[in-house]
Chain A
Amino acid sequence: METLLDLWAGYGSTVTFASVNAFFALSTYAVLSTGVLSFTTVVFAAVGGFLSAQMAGKFGVPLWAAFPMAALGGGFAAAVVAGAFLRLESHWMALASLALVLITRVTALNTPLLTGGVNGLIVPLRVEPLELALLLALCALVFWRLHRSWYGLAARAVREDAAVASTMGISPYRVQFAAFLISGVVGGLGGAALAFTLQFISPETYFIGIAFTMIASTVLGGSFHWLGPIVGAAVFTALPTAMQAIVPQIEDVAKGVVLLLIMIFLPRGLIDPRAWGLRRAARLREENERRQQAAERDAHA
């Protein structure tokens, strides 16, 4: 028991940050699963984070009410962004969303009334790791249901080929719009989770760093299954800690090298439903062959 507590004291924060990053990764996955590469999760996180922090700080809103507000705020921001951006082609979309992240920081810096400006905001509430885990589990449940629903099927179709999907009567615009709303809600939750974990946020909190962490987590874990982003976030968050334990001098370099190796050798990510399918098919084929050979031997005898 003692060792368990020690372990928690040492690595508890890693677990907490892994779950926060899992929200961001899930939010990225939500749009990526319909074929849109977007960095706007950072924007939704900033909206959710600052909104919930201000609600808690200025109006004394309790934790259980602050999270839904953050989700709503993120969702609303997502609706606005989707309306403006969905007309763009995929490359432009990625560039535009990156530009929006840059703009968000400048806006946050210059609206001290809402965000505290350069000085940032102190957040009076704290979220417990268990509560965070429950919220993440709830999100995962929703993603699991979505994956198996009509929407999940439509999303995969749009991702593979939007033109084909639209000939099947699926509107790519509506599916991608829905994906943005989901991304906004989850991103807003993640932003609030980050605010209540750090207990201090500033415009620098929601910037390029998060954008690259979430994209790396999603692709690392696998962007073809909802479990991928969660696993990816855990791995990507644990990497620096692990590297610090092994090679403290060059932890950043080692983190980059590991990311590079995983990407080169497992380009579809750690969780890859197609690889499972291929493996199952190979096993079935082997079994069939064995059965056939046995049947032939029986026939000869």
Chain B
Amino acid sequence: MQLFVEQLINGWALGSLYALFGIGFGLVFSTLGILNAAHGTYASWAAIAGYYAVDRFGVPFPVAVAAGVVGGGLLAVVVDQIGFQPLRAKKTGMLGALITSIAFWIILDSLAGFATGQQSLAFPATSYPNQMVVLGPLRVPQMQIITILALLVCTVGIYLLIQKTRIGAAMRAVGWNEVAAALGGVNARMVILLTAFLAGATSGLAGVLGGISTSNVSFTLGEGLMLKGFAAVVVGGYDDVRGTAIAGICLGVIEVFVAQYISTSFRDGFTYLLLLAFLIARPRGLFGSANFVRA
């Protein structure tokens, strides 16, 4: 029983990382209509930024996380302005942006390889809270609790931002139809910049936290998050952050349980099977709105 609960918390923390990353990925997909292959590199670079902040300047843990988050957000804005903005006027649709995002993926991945010296770096053990919290018979690492809380705060925050504020209404309007939103008095350019920053920052947070708790700061970090985050977005429904959060947690828990109780070789297979089943049986995901149409 104790093992079961411990694994449940492990899976929850792992799934929280997937969900955090997926929220950023889904925001870009639903608001900007871009299938962004470069999104994983934001997480890698955020982790690298956090690592160097600690390594070079010896900053405390919250500052390192903030450095990663801001770094991820700024990178997303730069990529958007160089890679996607010139294509918006040319109406190349999803395909053109997909290609430029592949280009950025290649560029940023290989630069990340240089930045880490082609190896996997780990945060020094003293730079983050690495104690165990004792809850009755359970011992839970502090980082897992931080990750779980981070997802909770981000999900509630972004959900309220999108559903209850004027900025959120503007973001939904741009996601529906950019031209119509602009006619309605929305500054589409600002909304796009804000969405890109928010998406990069959320995925960056996933990158830093994931880099710390898996002791893996390299370009492979982003790739791993990308595949699972993508699954979380699709299963949850990409136009609702609640769905992504729940789906991400479920995927993490399922992954850990399949590895624990069935076989490690089926770990990824089960996730993707679930993904395919959802795509065919219920393509709009857990929470996706039924009438979602992109013109």
Using a CB–CB distance below 8 Å, which chain A residues touch chain B? 32, 37, 84-85, 88-92, 94-96, 98-100, 102-103, 106-107, 109-110, 212, 215-216, 219-220, 223, 250, 252-253, 255-257, 259-260, 263-264, 267-268
Contact = CB atoms under 8 A, between A and B. Distances in A.
Contact of B83 (A89, A216, A260): A260
B209 to A, nearest CB: 24
Contacts of B266: 110
B279 A106 contact: no
A89 B265 contact: no
B161 interface: no
Contacts of B98: 37, 215, 219
26 contacts: A37-B98, A84-B280, A85-B280, A88-B279, A90-B94, A95-B234, A95-B279, A99-B272, A99-B275, A99-B279, A102-B272, A106-B269, A106-B272, A212-B37, A215-B102, A219-B96, A219-B98, A223-B95, A252-B110, A253-B111, A255-B106, A256-B104, A260-B82, A260-B83, A263-B100, A267-B92
A261 to B, nearest CB: 9
A110 B265 contact: yes
Contacts of A220: 99
Contacts of B107: 252-253, 256-257, 260
Contacts of B37: 212
A88 B92 CA distance: 21
B227 A102 contact: yes
Contacts of B92: 267-268
B35 interface: yes
B224 interface: no
Given A106-B269, A107-B269, A264-B87, A96 B279 contact: yes
B90 interface: yes
Given A103-B276, A263-B99, A264-B100, A256 B106 contact: yes
Nearest to A97: B279
B276 A96 contact: yes
A56 B282 CA distance: 41
A22 B274 CA distance: 33
Contacts of B35: 94-95
Interface centre among A89, A92, A267 (most CB of B within 10 A): A267
Interface in B241-295: 265-266, 268-269, 272-273, 275-276, 279-280, 283, 294
Nearest to A85: B280
A82 B57 CA distance: 55
A37 B37 CA distance: 15
Contacts of B276: 96, 99-100, 103
Contacts of B294: 91
B45 interface: no
B94 A103 contact: no
Interface centre among A98, A107, A255, A264 (most CB of B within 10 A): A264
B21 interface: no
B201 interface: no
Given A109-B265, A252-B106, A256-B103, 11 more contacts: A99-B230, A99-B231, A102-B268, A103-B272, A106-B272, A215-B95, A252-B109, A253-B107, A256-B104, A263-B103, A268-B92
A175 B82 CA distance: 37
Given A99-B231, A103-B269, A267 B96 contact: yes
Contacts of A255: 106
Contacts of B273: 103
Contacts of B103: 216, 256-257, 259-260, 263
B230 A98 contact: yes
A84 B276 CA distance: 11
A252 B104 CA distance: 11
